[in-house]
Amino acid sequence: MNPPISDTGEITPSPEKRKGFSSSEADSLPFSLVCQECDAGTEIASREQANAAGWADIIFAPDLPMANWLGVCPSCQKVAAE
């Protein structure tokens, strides 16, 4: 599942910014995370755990069907760097 990409190849602003969600609204939803490149993330219970595990580019994405947060897992970061 990939986030929207602009014509310049950049990821478009997060749904939080597009729809005007405040950080308190983001904090009020349960933390659920999915990788934008694969389906990893179900084992992550908090943003702190995701950061400690090496996840990157985590954004609030409440419109996703399977998670409220979107990021890039360490495995996909490694693949992208190769």
Task: State pLDDT tens for residues 22-59.
Answer: 566 677 788 999 999 999 999 999 999 999 999 999 99
Give residue limits of the domains in the chain: 31-81
Q: Is pLDDT above 80 for 21?
A: no
- The Cα 31–Cα 69 span in angstroms is 7
Answer with the residue of higher pLDDT: 15 or 43.
43
* pLDDT mean over 49-73: 94
Contact in structure between 71 and 81 (CB atoms under 8 Å): no
Answer with the residue of higher pLDDT: 15 or 53.
53
Q: Round the average pLDDT of the chain to a whole number and report it.
A: 79
pTM above 0.85, yes or no: no
Contact in structure between 50 and 58 (CB atoms under 8 Å): yes
Contact in structure between 71 and 40 (CB atoms under 8 Å): no
